[in-house]
Amino acid sequence: MARYLDVHPDNPQPRLLGQIADALRDDQLIAYPTDSGYALGSRLGNREGRDRILRIRGLDERHHFTLMCKDFAQLGQFVHIDNAAFRAIKAATPGPYTFILPATQEVPRRLMHPKKRTVGVRIPDHVFVQALLGELGEPLLTSTLILPGESEPRGLGWEIKEELDHEVDVVVEAGETPAEPTTVIDWSEGYPEVVRVGAGDPGRFTT
């Protein structure tokens, strides 16, 4: 059974943040709220975590995983960014955007797209996630919690606890969570291509 932790949305309790970070370090899989619905998260080095996410979501090996980063400095360690992308991405973050970019050697090969050698990155505008990333000290391997046959991410922690009680190890509740996925921008070819319209305004990347 998954542990259910109720975290204060504006002032996350340090004790609970520590428990969640320790669970991640112990290679547990968490379901957690973000600024664009719930997501599944595991430590980058958790080999089984990646496979569990694919299994829960009903996805294949070509799925683009995302690294949830605390800030732009951390993001820059894991992807190659040219000057044009740097300015545009920096202006749009933190926020509900995911950017697909060429991965650096810091990204384990199993987390990259198998053919393109790319990975998604994002910086959330969410108090709890920012606090957790600070506690953990590294990005989270993450994927939006959209279940097979559905088109929107889950937004209620108790609902996830009921449905995925034996699939995840920890479910975090932290206030209201919008059920709208990120806007995804593929910048891997040197220019922005909007591949999914979601919570973030795509207009800033199409003009």
pLDDT in tens, 143-196: 999 999 998 899 999 999 999 999 999 999 998 888 889 999 999 999 999 999
Closest CA to 131 of 3, 36, 4, 8: 8
Higher pLDDT, 207 or 99: 99
Closest CA to 89 of 125, 122, 48: 122
If pLDDT is split at 50, 70 and 90, which confidence band does 100 have? very high
Q: Is the pLDDT of residue 207 over 70?
A: no
Give me the long-range contacts of 186-193 (CB less than 8 A, separation at least 24): 186/99, 186/100, 187/85, 187/89, 187/99, 187/100, 187/101, 188/100, 188/101, 188/102, 188/116, 188/118, 190/82, 190/84, 192/85, 192/88
**pTM of the full structure:** 0.94
pLDDT at residue 51, as a whole number: 95
pLDDT in tens, 130-144: 999 999 999 999 999
- Mean pLDDT (the chain) is 94
Q: Is the pLDDT of residue 105 over 80?
A: yes
